[in-house]
A and B are shown apart, each in its own frame.
Chain A
Amino acid sequence: MSMNSQGRPSAIPVAASTDAVTGTITGNRGLQIEEPLIFEQDAPGRCGVDLPEIPTVATRLGAVKPRATVGLPGLAEPQVVRHYTRLSQKNYAIDSGLYPLGSCTMKHNPRLNEKMARLPGFADVHPLQPVSTVQGALELMDALAHWLKTLTGMAAVTLAPAAGAHGEMCGIMAIRAAHEAKGDSGRTKILVPESAHGTNPATAAACGYAVESIPATADGRVDLAALKAKLGPDVAGLMLTNPNTCGLFERDIIAIADAVHAAGGYFYCDGANFNAIVGRVRPADLGVAVMHINLHTTFSTPHGGGGPGSGPVVFSEALAPYVPVPYVTHGANGFALVEEAGDGPAFGRMKAFHGQMGMFTRALSYMLSHGADGLWQASGDAVLNANYVMAKLEDVMTASFDGPCMHECLFDDRFLKGTGVTTLDMAKALIDEGFHPMTMYFPLVVHGALLIEPTETESKASLDQFIGALRALAERAKGGDVAYFQAAPRLTPRRRLDETAAARKPILRWTPPAGADAVAAE
């Protein structure tokens, strides 16, 4: 290679081949680095941990044979660190930018909460240690229960359910147990509005109930008259999200609750949107009989790419006897843990051990940090941010219902009519602008839904940038630049993925390339 006088190459060497997509030799694009599967980086015998020698003993495996191989790859620690670092860089996250997923509530995850959850006194405690050695853990559960009961005004709480949908199961089981205790076996239906989360009908059906849909009025709320017409001795309860999935508060909520209870049913409130009203409105004052709370949406435990969640459930006085085990009580020698249902009306266990303790610590850390005044301000800011976004977009996009909205605002695709651009295309174009898309095509009650939830942890500057981008995209769509949208996203680690092919011939795991065994055997 020829060098210039500074000792640098005088000409950039031309590679034999370049990647067709990126134009680079490696297929990498600056900070976006292609990363093979971990299984494609194997060197047999290599290991990322150093372990002590195995003492020589006679094994006690009975009739079970030791397995010959597992088939896992061998990597050293630096390779593993680089693998997961590179993979992480292919994710959008709330830490990176605005993540306005309606109904999912992507708010800032304070790192103090992570630190608290990792205190050895919480993280390194076994669930079956003697109760005398875990008094602080039980105190924390008791404190969280106190906060949840105070914020909701409800009589009782279980911390056991592992996630929101699991909390729904718990609530519907309690309703069923209560009816059974009264000897009322004729209640076979649960009413669910059309706008409900998919988990609501799935939960009701899983608990053996027939699901009956109730329609919405033109203003996006439950049709009270239609609801009343469906109530009767065959209805076990109503599952209703409030604020609802259109981002609206059900104005008739108290009348709805009264009607359900007068007909002998129970009002189950899906608390996924509790973050809109936390600290300002107590669900007990709305007539709620039972409600789950997603600790990740309201109290900022991290979503973690799809869990873990935690779904405590609060109960009215009437349903309090049916709280499942386990739960914490105050005993003569400090806190006690009731782990068996016994002969009472309480029904049994829903998972192993005592609930998602690691989420409890994070949620309590969030609650203590905010306090009563901070929660008041947080729900106020969440609602203000959503209304601001709605106000700034309603002249270029089509809001589905009149405001004020609560913590999220709903648009439909009427503004895209005749443009050839779809809700999906808009979402993908937003990705190129550096935003995570809003929730698309949910709720199902409007066409081509775009549900935007900014949360209280976004600044005005961040909202203004988002609003500016969406306005410009809406104008561009109306200007007829369909091809631009259909090709989006262009700037992501991967462009649109073929989901049809993925479902038609599912490839759900890596398999060794053909002939690998033969090579290994040589």
Chain B
Amino acid sequence: MRYLPLTEADRQSMLAATRAASVNDLFRDVPEAARLSGPIGGLPNHMGELEVERLMGAMAAKNIAAGSVPSFLGAGAYRHHVPATVDHMVQRGEFLTAYTPYQPEVSQGTLQVLFEFQTQVSLLTGMDVANASMYDGATACAEAVIMANRVTRRKKALLSGGLHPHYRDTTTTDARFIGFDAVALPADPTGVEDLAAQIDNTTSCVVVQNPSVFGHVRDYSDLAKVCQAKGALLIVVVTEALSLGLLTPPGDMGADIVAAEGQSFGNALNFGGPYVGLFAVKDKYVRQMPGRLCGETVDADGRRGFVLTLSTREQHIRREKATSNICTNAGLCALAFSIHVSLLGEAGITHLAQLNHAKAVQMADKLAAVPGVEVVNGSFFNEFTVKLPKPAAGVVEALAARRILGGVPVSRLYPGEMDDLLLVAVTETNTESDMDAFATALAEVLS
């Protein structure tokens, strides 16, 4: 077995040192009835690399890779071009195969990356401070609500009808088991809901998504003021982090907490994970945050260095009194995010965001010209909703048969509802000919 360095001679001499008769003898504390007598049945024996590659390659080949066809899927996961540098750096063993940086003297690389990541997230969201990442956007959203309940000592969260249903459901799952109210408003495909009227003095927080799951972009500055007046926190969710390169950031609108999905930077689609949750807050809430935080300090020689800090919030110190049970986060995905953002820089991120928006505008116009198709959105970033004269799920299947991944049917996210709506996302990876092919194929499928 290629991963096991012990030779049979090693095993024998080591066994002698342990004074055990055999390796099986070392398992003698396991009740005998539960000990298998040899390798477990029903599974194959070991394989060489070549055989594993063949087996897994065959599975991979059964999928349509999004990059191999014109692809317009979004709804919380976006296909962006990731520069070659990102994956090359991420695969350096010193990053890939290190543990959580609990020994700072031999983890300054990871720690400085986290410090820079926290700064990048703070800048992008327009917030004071960010943590070192969460599992994904949906769990970051749920944790934000739990944190708001803690800060306000209230137990009723108001979830916008523009919030991604997976984020909504992740939050309501927590609500059921942790014991708080998560009031989810009806789906808001047209982007007109009025949340301010529904806030009262028992509301712990209002959760909005910008752009919304239907693609609408809104200015929430007025809502932030209403929240503040009623003692509720405003949580702004962002599922397309690239939008932060173009839109007024949530911090400038008055958000108290930003919970976002960072996959768009540096991370592949990966069929849904692993991704990287972003979590940023106003300064005054730092000690109420979940998750790891990296801070600057000095070493014994007075040189700048970094450590994990404020860990008295965390489970390994506080146990049942911790702010969250989170332990592992998304370290390597945060690194990929950070490298991609570093490559883009100020000029690149602004340019890329504008490019995405412009291409989406072009696509919206092309689709609006298809007979029977109506663009629902008055505003959007790089994703919008269209209304079709037929159920969108069937249309998407018919497009897939023509090798075009033509968006996400809204009914996939809201079963049994709004079956004529389709979400269409456009990024820098979509060429002019991709867009034309999509519009043409859609016209054929609808005719």
Contact = CB atoms under 8 A, between A and B. Distances in A.
A198 B76 contact: no
Q: Which of B178, B286, B305 has the most A CB atoms < 10 Å from its CB?
A: B305
Contact of B247 (A67, A176, A355, A508): A67
A215 interface: no
Contacts of A60: 357, 361, 364, 377-380
B94 A88 contact: yes
B309 A506 contact: yes
Q: Which of B3, B35, B133 has the most A CB atoms < 10 Å from its CB?
A: B3
B389 interface: no
Nearest to B112: A87
Contacts of A497: 104-105, 297-300, 305-307
B108 A91 contact: yes
A489 B300 CA distance: 10
Interface stretch (B12-20, B197-205, B226-234, B439-447): B12-20
Nearest to A147: B43
Interface in A70-94: 70-75, 77, 80-81, 83-85, 87-94
B107 A92 contact: yes
15 contacts: A57-B358, A72-B123, A94-B98, A126-B271, A211-B319, A305-B98, A305-B107, A308-B273, A359-B273, A375-B40, A376-B39, A380-B24, A384-B26, A493-B108, A497-B306
Contacts of A207: 177-178
B45 to A, nearest CB: 4
B151 interface: no
A369 interface: yes
Interface in A96-121: 96, 99, 101, 104, 106, 108-110, 112, 114-121
B100 interface: yes
B18 A48 contact: no
Interface stretch (A223-231, A312-320, A346-354): A346-354
A122 B63 contact: yes
B190 interface: no
Nearest to B81: A49
Contacts of A55: 358-359, 362
Interface in B410-445: 412-413, 415, 428
Contacts of B157: none
Contact of B293 (A130, A281, A506): A506
Contact of A67 (B99, B248, B299, B331): B248
Interface string B281-313: 000001000001111111111110111011010
**What are the 10 closest A-B residue pairs judged by CB atoms, nearest first?**
A121-B60, A353-B272, A62-B379, A304-B332, A95-B93, A136-B62, A127-B272, A308-B274, A306-B331, A48-B343
Contacts of A166: 135, 139, 326
Contacts of A377: 1, 4
A348 B172 contact: yes
Nearest to A242: B30
Interface string B71-94: 101011101000101011101111
B interface residue count range (under 10 / 10 to 19 / 20 to 34 / 35 or more): 35 or more
Contact of B322 (A66, A73, A128, A202): A202
B96 A384 contact: no
A280 B307 contact: no
B194 interface: no
A522 interface: no
B255 interface: no
A351 B53 contact: no
Nearest to A306: B331
A457 B31 contact: no
B169 interface: yes
Given A74-B345, A88-B92, 17 more contacts: A81-B89, A91-B106, A104-B100, A116-B56, A121-B59, A124-B66, A125-B64, A128-B75, A202-B324, A279-B39, A280-B35, A285-B34, A306-B100, A368-B56, A384-B11, A497-B305, A506-B295
Q: Which of A204, A248, A305, A340 has the most B CB atoms < 10 Å from its CB?
A: A305
Contacts of B98: 91-94, 303-305
A38 B116 contact: yes
Contacts of A241: none
A130 to B, nearest CB: 5
Given A39-B119, A48-B344, A502 B295 contact: yes
A91 B109 contact: yes
Contacts of B362: 55, 57
A442 B120 CA distance: 34
Contacts of B310: 503, 506
B164 interface: yes
B180 to A, nearest CB: 10
Interface string A374-392: 1111101101110110111
A61 interface: yes
A345 interface: no
A46 B122 CA distance: 21
Contact of A126 (B71, B122, B343): B71
Contacts of A71: 123, 346
Given A51-B355, A63-B379, A67-B252, A384 B15 contact: yes
B56 A64 contact: no
Contacts of A392: 17
B237 to A, nearest CB: 11
A422 interface: no
B199 to A, nearest CB: 20
A501 B298 contact: yes
Interface stretch (A9-17, A157-165, A413-421, A472-480): A157-165
Nearest to A48: B343
Contacts of A302: 96-97, 332
B103 A92 contact: yes
B332 A307 contact: yes
Contact of B95 (A122, A165, A296, A304): A304
A135 interface: yes
Given A37-B112, A277-B30, A64 B217 contact: yes
A495 B3 contact: no
Contact of B352 (A51, A206, A506): A51
A63 to B, nearest CB: 5
A90 B18 contact: no
A60 B44 CA distance: 56
B185 interface: no
Contacts of A77: 83, 85, 343
A70 B106 contact: no
A505 B250 CA distance: 26
A434 to B, nearest CB: 10
Given A37-B115, A372-B40, A381 B4 contact: yes
A308 B83 contact: no
A106 B99 contact: yes
Contacts of B377: 60
Given A80-B342, A509-B122, A92 B320 contact: no
Contacts of A205: 320-322, 325
Contacts of B4: 374, 377-378, 381, 456-457
A348 B173 CA distance: 6
Contact of B55 (A83, A286, A368): A368
Contacts of B351: 47, 51, 54
Given A70-B346, A162-B135, A129 B60 contact: no
B68 A369 contact: no
Contacts of B24: 380
A134 B61 CA distance: 10
B197 to A, nearest CB: 19
Contacts of B343: 47-49, 75, 77, 80
Contacts of B99: 99, 101, 104, 106, 303, 305-306, 436
A352 B112 contact: no
Contacts of B73: 126, 128-129
Given A303-B97, A308-B333, A351-B136, A198 B298 contact: no
A387 B346 contact: no
Contacts of B61: 121, 136
A286 to B, nearest CB: 5
